[in-house]
Amino acid sequence: MSTFQTLPGFRDFYPEDFARRHHVFRLWRQSASAFGFSEYDAPVLESLELYKAKSGDEIEAQLFSFTDKGGRDVALRPEMTPTVCRMVGARANALKRPIRWFSIAEFYRYERMQKGRGRCFSQLNADIFGEPGPEAEIELIALLVQCLCAFGLREEDFFVRLSDRNLWYYYLEALGLDESRTRAVLAAIDKYEKSGDAAFDGYAEKFGPLEAGLKEKILGFLQIKSLPAIEHAVAALGVDRLAARLADWRKLIDGLGAMGLSRFVEVDLGVVRGLAYYTGFVFEAFDRKGELRALAGGGRYDDLVAKLGGPALPAVGFAIGDMTFSLLLEQRGLMPTLVFAPDVYCVIGGVPERQAAFGDIHALRAGGFRVDYPLKEVAFGKQFKTAAESGAKLALIYGSDELARGVVKVRDLEQRTEMDVPRADLIATVRDFFSAG
Ligand code: HAM
């Protein structure tokens, strides 16, 4: 056993793991491209200041941060949102709107380790800038659903919980809470599912215990699970802003319905999201069985670009993490077993045959075929065995007899048929074989 191991919460990607991750990234990338998103990237190391007081206390406490040799306070990125706001903000006037960007990248958080959570993980981030209305949320929730369905997951496997911080703000204001109390209540709601009543301890420390009648109303609102129930609760209050917000809700729910996605989306005011910058609709994806931590999370953050020095620019987005997502695919048997088979395996006689084979091997590889052969001279029989075990579709046989006749024996390893092909026609024959499927 090696003396050195990965740091706790970090992962090595051996070829089988890498292939699985590649499969996930490939389908995410394909989905984001189909929705018209453009890919970007950025440095993993950022100024610490970018996250201070912007991402929220929880993420700030989990930062991998240090002072670099130039005396700068820096941090490994724990998320992409502040970075993408910085990038878009710097070029906001030159970019055609709506700006639809995505990235697939690695992030670092010093988290307590648990199933589906590590200290280094990947996310697909997708964000839309410049669109204030719920049309952007429709696009993003549709993309989120597609990023899961692309792997064969269905409505019985996962769902998206949809909520609204605006609604909460307006509701708590109508109940008479000021801004700082509202923030403390939202922090409690974020923890309520996990911690129950203890979630309100933080509020009580700052402001004293919540008055019983008020708490009851808040817990009632938190349990709302449908648009008609929101409409009912809001109608009773008679607050104009709340009523106006319902028009956005209707647009969003109808748009998702028209895309055929209602079965994936559930209204759930118990979700408020822990990150500090969210301003409007927020959403999270979970497995239906409730066995895993969140698969994805996102929402609207209309103030963050301006807070980071850019112009006022509405924004909404989400991120899916690779860890819980891969666990879910494996649980459902949807993570394919990926094989590293060559297309062609060459069985080669002696030294002169090897000389002849090398030219063809290089030409085939340059033509995009995966070609393998024994690096050292090996007995013919053993080579046939390796060819059969390799998973290759074709074996090319370079024996002394074939060489003398100017041909290569091409064996179809599945059909167990073979034919002699003149050397000059070999590349075309292999190409025809694979393009015929
Ligand atoms: P988040 O909820 O912190 O949101 O993370 C999104 C997803 O990343 C989570 O649902 C989870 O799958 C994954 N994730 C987060 N932390 C870990 C971890 N320690 N280990 C494994 N997976 C993890 C954000 O990051 C927002 N920036 C998303 C966003 C984009 N909002 C707007 N645009």
Q: How confident is the model over 250-287, as pLDDT tens digits?
A: 999 999 999 999 999 999 999 999 888 999 999 999 99
pLDDT tens per residue, range 91-133? 999 999 999 999 999 999 999 888 899 999 999 999 999 999 9
**Kind and range of the H or E run holding 307:** helix 304-307
Kind and range of the H or E element at 298? strand 296-300
Beta bridge partners of 159: 286
CA 375–ligand 1 middle distance (angstroms) = 46
Q: What is the pLDDT of residue 1?
A: 61
pLDDT per residue as tens digits for the range 10-45: 999 999 999 999 999 999 999 999 999 999 999 999
User: What strand order describes the sheet that includes 38-39?
Assistant: 38-39, 99-108, 120-129, 315-321, 296-300, 281-287, 158-164, 265-267
Q: Is 47 helix (H, G, I), strand (E, B) or coil?
A: strand
CA angle 64, 67, 73 (to 5 degrees): 80
Give the closest residue to 297 by CA, choosing from 61, 34, 121.
121
Q: Give 171-229 pLDDT, tens digit per residue.
A: 999 999 999 999 999 999 999 988 999 999 999 999 999 998 999 999 999 999 999 99
pTM comes to: 0.93
Q: What's the pLDDT at 253?
A: 97
Report the percentage of the chain scoring pLDDT > 90: 89
CB 282 within 8 A of CB 169: no
**Residue 294 alpha carbon to ligand 1 centre in Å:** 8
Ligand 1 neighbourhood includes 111 CB (under 6 angstroms): yes
Contact between 398 and 388 under an 8 Å Cβ cutoff? The reply is no
Q: Which two tokens stand for residue 344?
A: 């062609």
- Does residue 82's CB lie within 6 angstroms of at least one atom of ligand 1? no
Phi and psi angles of residue 116, each rounded to the nearest 5 degrees, phi first = 80, 0
Predicted local distance difference test score (pLDDT) of residue 241: 87
Average pLDDT over residues 360-377: 97
Q: Say yes or no to pLDDT of 437 above 80.
A: no
CA–CA dist 342, 395 (Å, integer): 10
Q: Whose CA is nearest to atom 17 of ligand 1?
A: 117
Q: What are phi and psi of 93, to 5 degrees?
A: -75, -25
Task: Record the tokens describing residue 109, joined without a space.
Answer: 């958080």
List domains and CATH numbers for the chain.
Answer: 15-331 (3.30.930.10), 344-435 (3.40.50.800)
pLDDT > 70 in the chain, percent: 99
Rounded to an integer, the average pLDDT of 151-171 is 96
The model's pLDDT over 280-318, given as tens digits with 9 standing for 90+, comes to 999 999 999 999 999 999 999 999 999 999 999 999 999
| pLDDT, mean of residues 48-67 | 86
State residue 234's pLDDT score.
Answer: 86
How much is the pLDDT for 10?
96
- Confidence category of residue 363, pLDDT binned at 50, 70, 90: very high
| Alpha carbon of 336 to ligand 1 centroid (Å) | 25
Label the pairing between strands 38-39 and 407-412.
unpaired
Determine the Cα–Cα distance for residues 384 and 207; give it in Å rounded to an integer.
78
Region 233-257: mean pLDDT is 91
Mean pLDDT of the chain: 94
